[in-house]
Structure 1
Amino acid sequence: MHRTPTGSLAPSLSVRTSRVPRPRAEPVPGRGAGYWTRLLPALAALAVLTRLPSFRHSLWNPDEGYLAVQARQLAAGGALYDTVVDRKPPLLPWLYEAAFAVFGDTSLGPLRVAALGAQLLTAVLLASTARRRWGDRAGRVAGVLHLLVSIGLNPEDTQAATFEVFMLPFTVAAVRCADRGQWARAGLAVAGAVLTKQTGGAALVPVLWLLWRTAAPRRAALLRAGAGLCGPVLLGALLTGPAGFLFWTVTGSGAYASFTGSELHVLARGLANTALLALACAGLVPPVVRVLRIARTGAADVWLWLASSAGAVLTGFHFFGHYYLQLVPPLVLLAAAALQILPPQRLTAALLASACACALFLTWGLLAPRPELAHAERLAAAVRERSAPHEPVLVWGIHPETYWLSHRAPATRYLTAGLLTNYSGGRDGPQVGEKYGVAGSWPVFRTELAERPPALIVDDSRGEPYGPERLPSLRRLLAAHYEPLAGTVDGAVLYVRTQSASAASPAG
């Protein structure tokens, strides 16, 4: 590589432009076979290694518990966005339901294997994209770096089989297909991302950029991409009911997405997760910054992808750690672009730093305790002891996994107190209460409990602002028809129906 008298690399790199580079020719069939036969086993082994902690616990976070309970409700005849509700799109609840139908509903092991496969597929798609643009070495670097960085947050966020993990392959596939001029497939991939989690739509920004810069004719390409995107989304809406689909995935989350309430709490979480991801990306950021100063990498679409993903992380102002996973693929591609320009020793340093950070997060995942899971397991044991298998129960808290662990059906479609009080967004300030819950939820909730009274109510609020003492409807219900049992489970209070209430109720 040519150097100037001052040691700058700028002259030898200045020939690069910010325009989208012409795609490299696809490898001749047969000539590139050895590349993938060597790379795929290495990526698969690395994916297994980095996902080992995911098999350590029965559950990693409440999102997994929520999906597991939803899958059981759907299998029992429930209807999504009607008697089974959440603010998320339908693809992952359906995947959980399918996995439970095939493998049984007592373990998330098959879903963990699927999550491992999703991360491996993401790495392969990134390798393919980088190889096409910048050569074989860049492809290998992109695949390896993704798997090293993909666990670089709290293990509860990276090792769980939840929305962002399954969304990533769709977002990378969208950019990869657009890079190849496959506009219908790019639209389909964006649709898959959106149907997994709404913020997957961020991948549409680089797709449209590539379409505008490279497609000819643009109108036909736009029609194909639009058909690919809109078809699956409309089908999902028709299968679940257009009104319910629109409300639960788009219009019904106004209070959840508000920044008002708990600003300092949410800001601290955002800064902490940003610091964790920065540590995981310690090997990626320096080469990207260095090349950004001295050259243009021809990756404008990837920068747009990173910017739109950052906007997706900001959406809703909650900054949960798993939101940050969406930033990893574009960061990895930018690093691959930078490292193919820089001297080989920079690549060695980047891989070493990423491997050390990965080892740190891997150790965290293998050794860190899960106190909230232990609490949910003790609570589930108490629920099983105090109720019959056919009796519905109400767990008033933010840990829906208690239903799944206890093998008890929920007495209501609202699986957490968060949907009824807005606490599910991490709020712990003034915007928590009955009037801040999902619109129309409290009349439905009161009707469900009147028609099918729970045999047991578990108040798992433990001093949080969604406790019954701050909610008139729930407080009146407990006072009129329930009495507390002696003792608590880690601070959770169990209520059983009074004899008079049981005698007067048809369910009793």
Structure 2
Amino acid sequence: MHAPSLSPSRSVPTVRGRAGYWTRLLPLLAALACATRVPSFARPLWNPDEGYLAVQAGLLAHGGELYETVVDRKPPLVPWLYRAAFAVAGHESLTSVRVLAVLAQLATAVILASLARRRWGDGAGRTAGVLYLLISIGLNPEDAQAATFEVFMLPFTAAAMWCADRRRPGAAGLAAGCAFLAKQTGGAVLLPVLWRCGRHGAGPVRLVAGAAAPVLGAALATDPAGFLFWTVTGSGTYASLGGSALPVLGRALANAGVLAVACAGLLPPVLRALRVSRPGTADLWLWLAASAGAVTTGLHFFGHYYLQLLPPIALLATAALRTPPRERRARAVLVTACCCALFLTWGLLAPRAELDHARRVADTAAQRTRPGERVLFWGMHPEAYWFAGRTPATRYLTAGLLTNYSGGRDGTLVGERYGVEGAWTVLRAELTAHPPSLVVDDSRGKPYAPDRLPTLRRLLSAAYEEVGEVDGAVLYARAGAGWSPGAGWWPQGAAVDRGARG
């Protein structure tokens, strides 16, 4: 018997070449991936991130330029993915990107199965793939079922570990770079990858070069200065607690508790593994620690951040469940499957109050404007532009970018001076060049209400008059203005005006 070692290639004989292994396992994982994502197809949209991406994709398809006239604090990979999906299947629904999300989760499960099989054998491969898919929806459905950044980041993080395990530093770096391009925190996988490649004696130069290549390519394909600003340097106040420590702490504990329920069958063996040295798991613990650090980054602790923890948890549980008795593994899988069924039910029955609100507001705005006209939805529901089929009046699709407001933040550090640097100057220029036909104040008493923002308050009092209210949102139309359709991106489409970067 081999002595315990941290090298998976020596800790357990690798099982190779068994006929039919993947032909039996792939259909099982595919069916499980489809089953766990059924709720994602049950509603048109799950959260504002999906709405933001849908609007970005529409703008990009009709002349918008990322980090110039289409802005967000995220890297470009997922907006490009949405744009490509819409180009193939149309923009009327998110079904195409939901299908891509199923494939992303399947790919992650397959990569984890391959990694576990190489380290611990055929049975471990099956266990890792199944466990990952069972816990992959173990959060609030708005976080777990949405086709957003983390879902498309995870296959790349898993691929980075897979390549590092096979002593391919260049490919591992490339995968880590692509993970960063899906979401910045995906770059955290570089820590365990560096450790793994270091133990193999693989060249760090190739690893760093591989990681830098896609990032530099994306910067050059967009606007390098804008790319750096929006993805790295321009989010200082967003990452500050700023008086919101208690709400943030409550959210962190609540989401951790929800995830603990999903992993109830896996946590006992994983915690037991802390007391016993398991061959081939040191890099997995480092992966989990790096992912936990990534969840903490930004100090917001939204539920979808926790998705990054799931791949290392699935692998660590697989390693812990290899020891006898075998009934322990069966019990863990059964408990995890029951928890998965609970979250599936939650996903199918989840309330949709905010979605319905956004639909009602968007429908009213669509009735009061023509397709070519610009609209300003002042709130945190960018999906309203997509539902209404109207052109955004500004590149800033939510009030958050202009005021530093985000979910759970109190009134501290919220206001014009806390927004993205230069954003209000750009907003004034955009609204002067193309005044929106309709402004919808959807703040509903939040800290970013117009009466707390001098620039927006002056705009509304000088050029607009209140014309109605729907579901708590106040509508303002241009005072004495006639119809003046501009160039719309939905459905006709036209180039979006360029302007200064906020």
* Kept after mapping to 1: 8 A contact 2:105/2:155: yes
Give me the whole-angstrom Cα distance separating, in 2, the residues matched to 1:425 and 1:371: 16
Tell me the CA shift for residue 292 of structure 1: 2.4
Task: Tell me the alpha carbon deviations over residues 282-309 of structure 1, each in whole angstroms, 9 at most, x when there is no partner.
Answer: 1111111223223433311000000000
Aligned to 1:160: 146
Give me the whole-angstrom Cα distance separating, in 2, the residues matched to 1:89 and 1:325: 18
TM-score (norm 1): 0.93
Describe the SS at the equivalent of 1:438.
coil
- Which of 340, 360, 371 in structure 1 is aligned with 2:322? 340
Task: Tell me the alpha carbon deviations over residues 12-42 of structure 1, each in whole angstroms, 9 at most, x when there is no partner.
Answer: 9x953445553766655xx324111111111
Instruction: Please state if 1:82 is matched with 2:63.
Output: no
Task: Tell me the alpha carbon deviations over residues 73-107 of structure 1, each in whole angstroms, 9 at most, x when there is no partner.
Answer: 10110010000000000000001111111111111
Describe the SS at the equivalent of 2:280.
coil
Describe the SS at the equivalent of 1:301.
helix
Aligned to 1:69: 55
Aligned to 1:448: 430
Instruction: Please state if 1:208 is matched with 2:194.
Output: yes
Instruction: Please state if 1:22 is matched with 2:24.
Output: no
* Kept after mapping to 2: 8 A contact 1:432/1:466: yes
Gaps of 5+ in 1: 1-11
Aligned to 1:491: 472
Map 1:259-278 to 2 at 5 A: 259-278=241-260
Gaps of 5+ in 2: 487-502
Aligned AA for 2:210?
Answer: G
Describe the SS at the equivalent of 2:195.
helix
Instruction: Please state if 1:308 is matched with 2:296.
Output: no
Give me the whole-angstrom Cα distance separating, in 2, the residues matched to 1:19 and 1:102: 44
Tell me the CA shift for residue 55 of structure 1: 0.1
Aligned AA for 1:88?
Answer: K
Aligned to 1:282: 264
* Kept after mapping to 2: 8 A contact 1:71/1:100: yes
Task: Tell me the alpha carbon deviations over residues 122-168 of structure 1, each in whole angstroms, 9 at most, x when there is no partner.
Answer: 00000000000011111000000000000000000010000000000
Aligned to 1:250: 232
* Kept after mapping to 1: 8 A contact 2:138/2:258: yes
Task: Tell me the alpha carbon deviations over residues 155-214 of structure 1, each in whole angstroms, 9 at most, x when there is no partner.
Answer: 000100000000000000000110000111101100110000000011101110011111
* Kept after mapping to 2: 8 A contact 1:23/1:179: no
Give me the whole-angstrom Cα distance separating, in 2, the residues matched to 1:506 and 1:162: 33
Instruction: Please state if 1:116 is matched with 2:102.
Output: yes
Aligned to 1:229: 211
Q: Structure 1's 433 and 90: CA in aligned 2 closer, same or farther, altered over 3 A? A: same
Give me the whole-angstrom Cα distance separating, in 2, the residues matched to 1:436 and 1:308: 29
Percent of aligned pairs with the same amino acid:
65
Question: How many corresponding residue pairs?
Answer: 487
* Kept after mapping to 2: 8 A contact 1:191/1:233: yes
* Kept after mapping to 1: 8 A contact 2:170/2:210: yes
Larger radius of gyration: 1
- Which of 432, 454, 460 in structure 2 is aligned with 1:472? 454
* Kept after mapping to 1: 8 A contact 2:15/2:121: no
Tell me the CA shift for residue 67 of structure 1: 0.2
Aligned to 1:428: 410
Describe the SS at the equivalent of 2:275.
helix
Give me the whole-angstrom Cα distance separating, in 2, the residues matched to 1:138 and 1:26: 11
- Which of 137, 151, 154 in structure 1 is aligned with 2:137? 151
Give me the whole-angstrom Cα distance separating, in 1, the residues matched to 2:111 and 2:64: 36
Instruction: Please state if 1:169 is matched with 2:155.
Output: yes
* Kept after mapping to 2: 8 A contact 1:395/1:458: yes
* Kept after mapping to 2: 8 A contact 1:421/1:432: yes
Describe the SS at the equivalent of 2:395.
coil
Deviating runs (4+, > 6 A) in structure 1? none
Tell me the CA shift for residue 426 of structure 1: 3.8
Describe the SS at the equivalent of 1:22.
helix
Aligned AA for 2:260?
Answer: A
- Which of 83, 105, 117 in structure 1 is aligned with 2:91? 105
